[in-house]
A and B are shown apart, each in its own frame.
Chain A
Amino acid sequence: MAESVGRSAGIFAVACVCGVASGMFGIGGGVLLVPLLGLLFAYSQHRAQGTSLVALIPPTGLLALISYAKADYVSWKTGFLLIPGIFAGGILGAALAKKIQPRRMRQIFAGVMFALGAWQALSAWGR
């Protein structure tokens, strides 16, 4: 029992850290949450992904969004155009995740993300 309380506290603390990244970088936080649930709490990949999706259902970014909106940092029109596609794509992707071998795909995604990150850092601070 005590162990399960400690585990819950640990998960909560990890989620707080993911939240800071979420507000700082305008992302959902799942990209951190999924690997951390797996690495620190021994979740299987599919279970980590399903659990992360639960965490992303309530408007976790609401308070952060209000801060950005106050600073006039939100493009509402683009947002509205993107939402339906993401929703439909999400169903598609989840159905696909059952069928394909996810490890390979995750590695490719990690590689692309790393390159993208390096590019962003360079274009911001290079020269």
Chain B
Amino acid sequence: MIFVILFLGLAVGALVGLLGIGGGVVLVPAMVYLLRMDQHLAQGTSLFILLPPVGLGALREYWKQRQVDLRAGILCALGMMLGAYLGSQIAIPMASRNLKGLFGCFLMLAAVLLWRKAQKERQAVSVAGEERAGG
């Protein structure tokens, strides 16, 4: 089991660097399904994992290439800290089952956003891809 956990960490980390995300969006379902955690427990543990700057190594690589907007990043950090507190107050009293379902909906929304971003980047948009993302 420990081996699975260590390997999971490495895989999630690779995504952190590749996509510039915190990794929680992958960690939470992985802990629910691979480690059989309850939804609330997985979310709390994910927040704990994201506490230390796990993305620092990745950030250094981006910084070297001048792909960082420091001012906007600091603003985002402040906004997210505030918002995260609010969000936790909403989630904790919820039934685990409903929270799990909502998390699923959130994942789908995030997936659509990510897909649309990828589409927009290549201006020669393929309409078929958009439809697939929506359906």
Are A and B subunits of one complex?
A: yes
Interface residues of A (CB under 8 A from B): 8, 11-39, 41, 43-65, 67-69, 71, 73-76, 78-79, 81-98, 102-103, 105-107, 109-111, 113-114, 116-125
23 sampled A-B residue pairs with Cβ under 8 A: A8-B75, A11-B75, A12-B78, A21-B106, A23-B83, A26-B24, A28-B25, A35-B114, A35-B116, A37-B72, A50-B62, A50-B67, A56-B50, A61-B81, A78-B5, A78-B37, A84-B6, A85-B11, A92-B13, A94-B61, A110-B118, A117-B107, A123-B100
B79 lies within 8 A of A16 (CB): yes
Residues of A within 8 A of B35 (CB): 78
Residues of B within 8 A of A111 (CB): 111, 115
A23 lies within 8 A of B111 (CB): no
Query: Once the chains are docked, how many angstroms separate the CA of A8 from the CA of B41?
Result: 35
Partner of B14, one of A37, A71, A75, A92: A92
Residues of B within 8 A of A114 (CB): 107-108, 111-112, 115, 133
A16 lies within 8 A of B83 (CB): yes
**Interface 1/0 per residue, B82-97 and A, CB below 8 Å:** 1111111111100001
Number of A-B contacts (CB under 8 A): 452
Contact residues of B between 20 and 35, Cβ < 8 Å to A: 20-25, 27-29, 31-32, 35
Query: Once the chains are docked, how many angstroms separate the CA of A26 from the CA of B47?
Result: 5
A91 lies within 8 A of B61 (CB): yes
A117 lies within 8 A of B105 (CB): yes
Tell whether A18 pairs with B80 under 8 Å between CB atoms, given A53-B62, A57-B56. Answer: yes
B84 lies within 8 A of A61 (CB): yes
A47 lies within 8 A of B7 (CB): no
**Interface 1/0 per residue, B101-135 and A, CB below 8 Å:** 11111111111111111101110000001000100
A109 lies within 8 A of B19 (CB): yes
Residues of A within 8 A of B129 (CB): 107
A82 lies within 8 A of B5 (CB): yes
- A-B residue pairs, 9 tightest by C-beta: A28-B22, A89-B13, A19-B83, A85-B9, A93-B17, A49-B20, A23-B87, A26-B43, A54-B73
CB distance from B129 to the nearest CB of A (A): 7
Residues of A within 8 A of B52 (CB): 59, 83
User: Chain B CB within 10 Å — which of A28, A41, A58, A116 has the most?
Assistant: A28
